[in-house]
Amino acid sequence: MRILLILFFALINIEVWAEDFKWKLKKTVEHENYYENYGTGIKKTKIDGKNKKLKFELREFFPIETARNSKEEQCKDFRIQEITYKSKMIEQSYSLNDCLPCIDKGAGYMCAYPYFQVFYFYEDYGIFDPTYAAISDNLDITNDGAKLVYISINIGSREQVRFSELKTDLESLGVGKAHLFKSQIFKYNTRLRKIESEKSKLKNTQNQVFEMVFTRIKDNTLNNIANKTKLNIREKDLKILFSAEPSLSITKFQTRD
């Protein structure tokens, strides 16, 4: 494991600096069963000492039942997002959301707050977020080439648990291939879980039932992304995932306080 950590940081060998940026909505397309938002964003970066502006594309998909009035249009039962760079997929994500009164808006506004999310990161994701530069050397863990997958679930008040999967090939270092499943708990200072206050140690999970459930959720979610449909999560599958973190006293996921 020490070798894995050293390798991870050693692979981040380019100087990259990026400003926060906002997506600009270009159009909304209505399909038979879902809406599609299309937008772009520009990120300023410094790569190998040269300043560059990179253009990313974002597609967002959400159910056709979503209200289109100004006070409820953010209330999406589920949401799919795809980020591409030069037409190449770099990230996909899927979230199940609770529809609740907005914390930071006026009376009557409803917002979607995610309580269950699955993220898929691909070979070139390090271009978008340099902290993930090392994943380009990971082995594929999905049929479409994802290099890292993690599941994020809200638990209790201002807490979140994350489960991740990656596969590495370190034969040149005499380690061989490593297929890793990990878990970690995060705590936050805000109800929207934006300001992290503390986190547990990253924990390895070696349990065949856990791996089977994680893989099933990972694959089923990709099917839902492809078909633009709602993901069904079984309570017993959540309990199996939660078993990787014995310190979890609350097994009911929730959106916020």
Q: How far apart are CA 39 and CA 42, in angstroms?
A: 11
pTM over the 0.95 mark: no
Q: How far apart are CA 197 and CA 159, in angstroms?
A: 10
Model confidence band, residue 249 (pLDDT cutoffs 50, 70, 90) = low
Q: Where are the domains of the chain?
A: 2-242
Length of the chain: 257
Compute the average pLDDT of residues 78-84: 95
Q: Mean pLDDT score of the chain, rounded to an integer? A: 83
* Poorest-pLDDT segment among 85-99, 147-161, 168-182, 231-245: 168-182
Q: How far apart are CA 91 and CA 80, in angstroms?
A: 11
Contact 125, 138 (CB under 8 A): no
pLDDT at 105 over 80: no
pLDDT at 242 over 80: yes
Of the CA atoms within 13 Å of residue 32, those in its CB half-sphere come to: 2
- Write out pLDDT tens, residues 60-72: 999 998 877 777 7
* Poorest-pLDDT segment among 56-65, 68-77, 153-162, 228-237: 68-77
Contact 142, 222 (CB under 8 A): yes
Cα 191 versus chain centre, distance? 19
